[in-house]
A and B are shown apart, each in its own frame.
Chain A
Amino acid sequence: MNPRTIAAVAAGKLAGLASRVSRRGGGTAIAGLAALRVDPGVVRRLASQAGAGTIAVTGTNGKTTTSLMLSRIASAAGLRPLHNRSGSNLMRGVAAMLVEEATLTATIPDAKRRLAIMEVDEATLPEIVREVAPRAVVFTNLFRDQLDRYGEVDTVAKSWERALAAAAAETTLVLNADDPAVAHLGRSAPGRVLYYGVDDAAAGIDSDEHASDFRTCLDCGAELAYDVTFYGHIGHWRCSSCPNRRPAPHVRVTRVALGQDATSLTIATDSGELHVKLPLAGLYNAYNALAAAAGAIALGLPHDAVVGALEGFSAAFGRQERFSVEGRHVQVLLGKNPTGLNQVLRALAARDGRKTMLFFLNDGIADGRDISWIWDADYETVQPQTAWVLAAGTRAEDLALRLKYAGFGDDVPIEHSTATALRRALDATPAGGTLYVVPTYTAMLEVRELLAKRGGARRFWEGA
């Protein structure tokens, strides 16, 4: 192995160790940064050793859950995944994961059986495509998220198109046919394209959600029309004036039944049907499972591995993740942008019973400094079933005002301290009852840390 890569692995391991010892943090970013500084090609040189190649997963919502599902499918298929499971999805996070897996001679052990599964930030995707030439790239969806950081949604779409135009012909694109922005990427693909989508129109909704980010045709600029809307701008779309329309998906959900805690799916493929009982609620998770199944099919993984892994799936950190604390159930449901939050609220509203709700709104860099998106999220959905509510986070006052408009009352209490908010919410939850925590990204990390301290769960970087 290249001596520079060996030095990079050593530097990364050392930095990660130092970070973990000194502040009990995950240390993922620091280890990756240190390794990349010594060898900017460290990701390529380590990932290329994986005998089963690399699959990348990107998109606004669902990439953490989808890549975790892919990782479980790969394991069920007898492969050993190399997966940045901590959710650290910039170049440094991918580098850190590979450095941790590598030996001191910069070799990946058991390389023949390894499949690299990379969850990749939207803005980092072009670099990953250039560096590692993945066998497949799965795109989940594209919604507005952190406009202050990424710029406009169009900026992300354009950077993807440029990256894919230069991608290797061996790279298969796995695209959500129901998202007009993602489906459009099939046009610039030099290689194979595998579309996935939900055919079952019965899962559609009547109402028009306010958080919908692609309203016009990417070919001609005319308004898009929808025969079926599933959520946001996801649905059976067609241009009102030119021939651009939803492509017919290769991997498709022909039947979906949404339950309170689980979802039944029938997935049709060119090589037969899969019947999956997914232990997660919400149509957005059906899409995550579908994306993972399509990615697995693109790699030629067997159907029984897909079904087995999805049926035994447990939630990724902070995504419908369950904890047990002080005789109460706590479920953490990340809601970081209007479309994602609307899906979470919809899944919550489908669950019976009066609810104890703890909402967080933080405006850290990783959350997005601009909180105006809360006005496009439909908090109204869960208001009728809410028995108790607290608005928390660095922007608790804005959240309380939004909740006032959603009918939660003029006096929604606010709390800035994450620990105190959790304490108050646990006290308000009846013994044996469930507390629903709906945080933005940085609040989710804090809440998980606090729950872990109370014995609720292991820290995410320690592995499951």
Chain B
Amino acid sequence: MSEPVLRVAHLYPRLMNIYGDRGNIMCLRHRCEARGIGFELAELGLRDRLDPAAFDLIFAGGAQDREQRGVVDDLLATKADAVREAVEDGVALLAVCGAYQLFGRFYREASGAELPGAGIFDLHTEHPGEGVRRCIGNVVADWDAPDGPRTIVGFENHGGRTRLGPGARPLARVRSGYGNNGEDGTEGAVYRNAIGTYIHGSLLPKNPALADHVIRLALSRRYGDVALVTIDDRAEERAHAAALRLR
């Protein structure tokens, strides 16, 4: 069998890039190439169509409200159906912050107006009103990883409060920080091979176990269970350990 290749579609890399989301792509590339796994990246912007069969992983990051409003129309018009089809077919998805909200069922603005989402995850997000504090700060969350309990560390900055429906389960439980809504202790969402989260920082570089989990999920559809050899993660583990000590 030839070497596996991870084919990644990065949605709206120019418009949704506010919280260092580029670090997630750099991380995926590094962790593939260090193991001889090919890495192919396609950047899809406004009006670009998404071929649901052409990718192993779909990634989208955070945006400001103004850019997000521009993106939501385009997402629903040109990409949402394809993303849904891909996820149902087992393609992996990683959605961080703004994209996490966009991939839910709807977003209710402070004014009460409802913006429809792509409906990948069974969740919805409500903005509690302009006077209510945003959820901002360092996060440590407990994650039930495939190989046992682990932690996910990073930073969150979101106004909207997200609540999961019965069709989605949380990615993790916050040990410190707000997570989905600051009330029920949940952080992020998982549906099939799709993961959504509020945690950036960038998310993947200092959470190498989560990065490898995403790579494994993404490769599983075409290559089955791919063994990922151990690589030098000293700098990654050091940064992860340091983040566990932050307030």
Residue from B20, B27, B138, B205 in contact with A376 in the complex, judged by beta carbons closer than 8 Å = B20
* Contact assessment for A374 and B20 in the assembled complex, using a CB-CB cutoff below 8 Å: yes
Is residue A313 within 8 Å, beta carbon to beta carbon, of the partner chain? no
- Please, how many angstroms separate the alpha-carbon atoms of A221 and B246 in the complex? 38
Which of A244-252, A392-400, A434-442 lies at the interface? Answer: A392-400
Q: How many A-B residue pairs have CB under 8 A?
A: 103
Alpha-carbon distance between A402 and B238 when the two chains are bound, in angstroms: 12
Knowing A210-B22, A215-B67, A376-B20, say if A371 contacts B242 (CB, 8 Å): no
Question: Is the pair A221, B70 in contact by a Cβ cutoff of 8 Å?
Answer: yes
Q: Using a CB-CB cutoff of 8 Å, which residues 1-34 of chain B contact chain A?
A: 14-15, 17-23, 26-27, 30
Does A405 belong to the interface (CB within 8 Å)? Answer: yes
Within 8 A of B (CB), among A346-373: 363, 369-373
Does residue B236 face the partner (Cβ distance < 8 Å to A)? yes
Bound together, the chains give a CA A153 to CA B67 distance in angstroms of 11
B14 near A215: Cβ-Cβ < 8 Å: yes
Closest A residue by C-beta to B247: A369
Chain B residues with Cβ under 8 A from A373's Cβ?
Answer: 20
CB–CB A221/B66 < 8 A: yes
B136 interface residue per 8 A CB criterion: yes
Contacts of B22 in A (CB 8 A): 210, 375-376
Of B45, B202, B235, which contacts A372 at CB under 8 A? B202
Q: Does A151 contact B (CB under 8 A)?
A: yes
**8 Å CB contact of B242 from A151, A374, A375, A395:** A395
> Is B150 interfacial (CB 8 A cutoff)?
no
Find residues 372-416 in chain A having any chain B CB closer than 8 Å to their own CB: 372-376, 395-398, 400-402, 404-405, 410-412, 414
Interface size on A, residues (CB 8 A): 36
CB distance from A82 to the nearest CB of B (A): 36
A152 to B15, CA, bound (A): 14
- A148, A375, A395: which contacts B20 (Cβ < 8 A)? A375
CB-CB under 8 A for A375 and B202, given A370-B155, A410-B234 = yes
Interfacial residues of chain B within 203-231, with CB under 8 A of chain A in the complex: 205-206
Check if A326 is an interface residue, CB within 8 A of chain B. no
Chain B residues with CB below 8 A from A397, complex form: 235, 238-239, 241-243
A-side contacts of B27, CB under 8 Å = 405
Residues B30 and A405 in contact, CB atoms below 8 Å apart = yes
What string of 1s and 0s marks CB contacts (under 8 Å) between B69-95 and chain A? 110000000000000000000000000
- Residue in chain A with minimal CB distance to B29: A405
- A398, B239: Cβ atoms under 8 Å? yes
Distance in angstroms from B134 CB to nearest chain A CB is 7
**B44-71: which have CB < 8 Å to A?**
45-46, 64-67, 69-70
Task: Report yes or no: B234 in contact with A411, Cβ–Cβ below 8 A.
Answer: yes
A147 touches B234 (CB 8 A): no
Q: Which 7 A-B pairs have CB atoms at the shortest separation, nearest pair first? A: A375-B23, A375-B20, A372-B20, A397-B242, A397-B239, A401-B239, A152-B64
17 cross-chain CB contacts under 8 A: A147-B19, A148-B157, A152-B65, A154-B64, A215-B67, A216-B67, A223-B14, A369-B136, A369-B137, A371-B155, A376-B17, A397-B238, A400-B238, A405-B23, A405-B30, A405-B205, A412-B235
B binding-site residues for A, Cβ under 8 Å: 14-15, 17-23, 26-27, 30, 45-46, 64-67, 69-70, 134, 136-138, 154-155, 157, 200-202, 205-206, 232, 234-236, 238-239, 241-243, 246
Assuming A223-B45, A402-B23, A405-B30, what are 12 further A-B pairs, CB within 8 angstroms? A148-B136, A212-B14, A213-B18, A370-B155, A370-B201, A372-B19, A372-B23, A375-B23, A376-B22, A395-B242, A402-B205, A405-B205
